[in-house]
Amino acid sequence: MRKIWYRRILIILVLLATILGTNLGIEELQDEEKRQEVSTRGVDSTLLIPGGMPIGIYMETDGVLVLDTDSIEGMDGTEYAPAKNLVKSGDYIVGINGEEVNSKNDLIQAVGRLDSREVVLSIRREEEYIDVKMNSVEVDTNEYKLGIWVRDSVQGLGTITYLTSSGEFGALGHGIHDTDTEELLEIENGTVYVTNIIGIQKGEKGTPGGLEGIIIYNRHNILGTIEDNTECGIYGTIKNVDALFEEQEAMEICEKREIELGAAVIRCAVDGEVKEYDIKIKNVDYFTRDENKGIIIEIVDEELLELTGGIVQGMSGSPILQHGKIVGAVTHVLVNDPTRGYGIFIEDMMNADG
């Protein structure tokens, strides 16, 4: 699996919620509560270069993620469920019979070398490491199976939010969750690639739209590396800065208390070119329990509405700008009204970049 992105493969991606695990759903706007206190904590005056450019994403999990368990028919014709109640969805397999496992291919090869039914799986479950003893199922002479569905990588398309003076970036504004377990993916490493938008599925009420992009997974198109996947976004280092950030000017970070309701813009490249589109900031919730939903925005730009119908999947991470400062990033769309959605405060996004 680790060599797949070195091969010259052309993949056309239609970014769906199932690819990047974006928590899109029919959301109800939160009631605007009266707030008497506002956080006055200052932020670093670091200047950031705003993004808005699409990026291709490839990440490998830290261990092999367990999706589910299944039953298997043995040589005797009997159905067995060897891993049921022993291995759980969301576990990470990191070893088998004392042998280290880093990828799905490692696991497949190790199972292929089994010469008996007895198996000891080394599992990471949340923060705890445990050994699970189980009996594999012999499905043919000296051929064994575990009855476990697994995944070790994820790929897709998103939008970069900012670049620091040291070449570090933040993107998406939300974490990448596994589509089956719905858990935040624990990653070993990842890579950012050049991508080009080639089409748009326009969003409509009840049906989220999406961007279509071309990503060529080879070393010539690598932009940088991904080091962290958090609830507030993905973070890493851009090594080929000139290929992504051409003639961009740095901006100040906008503190939460500086944000004003009303006119603002988002920066994105839905038609292949980075542009700024008019929006309105409808509400700011300084005390939101969901850090991805501190800002409520509405798309009012006629050009963008004509192109996309509003916010579409793939726009997550598009920077929100107001009065020449970076306010935050787009994170979610309201499926029942694609002209409206949520954003994350740039302060929260920066604080999560640990």
Distance of CA 307 to the CA centre of its chain: 24
What tokens does 326 get?
Answer: 């970076």
Radius of gyration of the CA atoms of the chain, in A: 22
Of 295, 42, 53, which is closest to residue 169 (Cα–Cα)? Answer: 53
Closest listed residue to residue 75, CA positions, set 154, 15, 144:
144
CB atoms within 10 A of CB 103: 18
Q: Which residues are catalytic?
A: 174, 301, 316
CB burial string 275-292: b at 16+ within 10 A, e below: bbbbbebebbbeebeebb
Nearest one of 193, 171, 157 to 48, comparing CA atoms: 171
Nearest alpha-carbon partner for 64 in 85, 88, 87, 95: 95
